[in-house]
Chain A
């Protein structure tokens, strides 16, 4: 049962462009929504995270937009750089189950120079 659906599966963006990755969830009990970045040969690393009490969180060029009523959240990468080329995973968890994360399927981002 897929509780977090992520799209697109792959994304190609030109340097300087905006990369947008979307996720939708089903479980309204989820209360923590992180995004992980994974480079080839490495494990996933936390990029940015949000809780449902805010609609947007920005850290540098990375922004999470959160729509609680639609049960959707998205990652925006502004001024995308070739070094941003990686696989991005959205995830969700709920307090009562602790740190148990449910992941999306991942988006392979390629930023062309």
Chain B
């Protein structure tokens, strides 16, 4: 049973829709992440939050908008997406931002943009 829970697991949305992905971690961690996983490509880091503060935005288009209301919850708000945004979106968490801390991933949200 993963300590990082993502909902929904599958999402199909039109290019004009607005939807959100939700992530909750039950591990007492202080850092949370959004990664994008596309076929045949490395996992791409999108956003990093540390103690609810955004510390990194990896040149992500503004149609992706993250929100971190507290250290346990992370959202990814989606609007006017493109078909090439279809991918597996992974949420992850770690104790803090120091290198060497294990990063725990959720099972991901499969997003299809039609």
| A interface list, Cβ under 8 A from B | 2, 4, 9, 31-32, 34, 36, 41-46, 49, 51, 89, 93-106
| Chain B interface, DSSP helix/strand/loop, else mixed | loop
A98-B31, A99-B31, A99-B94 known; A44-B99 Cβ under 8 A: no
A41-B107, A43-B107 known; A99-B99 Cβ under 8 A: yes
CB distance B56 to A43 under 8 Å?
A: no
In Å, the complex CA distance between A98 and B94 comes to 10
B100 within 8 A of partner (CB): yes
CB distance B42 to A100 under 8 Å?
A: no
A32-B99, A98-B99 known; A44-B43 Cβ under 8 A: yes
CB distance A105 to B107 under 8 Å?
A: no
The contact of B43 among A31, A41, A89, A95, by CB within 8 Å, is A89
Which residues of chain A are within 8 angstroms of B50 by Cβ–Cβ distance? 98
A-B interface pairs (CB < 8 A), number? 74
Tell me, rounded to whole Å, the shortest Cβ–Cβ distance linking A44 to chain B. 5
| B interface list, Cβ under 8 A from A | 2, 4, 31, 33, 40-43, 45, 48, 50, 55-56, 90, 92, 94, 96-108
A99-B94, A100-B45 known; A42-B100 Cβ under 8 A: no
In Å, the complex CA distance between A7 and B63 comes to 33
In Å, the complex CA distance between A14 and B102 comes to 31
Which residues of chain A are within 8 angstroms of B42 by Cβ–Cβ distance? 2, 4, 89, 102-106
27 contacts between A and B (CB under 8 A): A9-B40, A31-B100, A34-B102, A41-B107, A42-B107, A42-B108, A43-B2, A44-B43, A45-B104, A46-B103, A49-B102, A95-B99, A96-B99, A97-B99, A98-B31, A98-B96, A98-B97, A98-B98, A99-B33, A99-B96, A99-B100, A100-B45, A100-B48, A101-B43, A104-B42, A105-B41, A105-B42
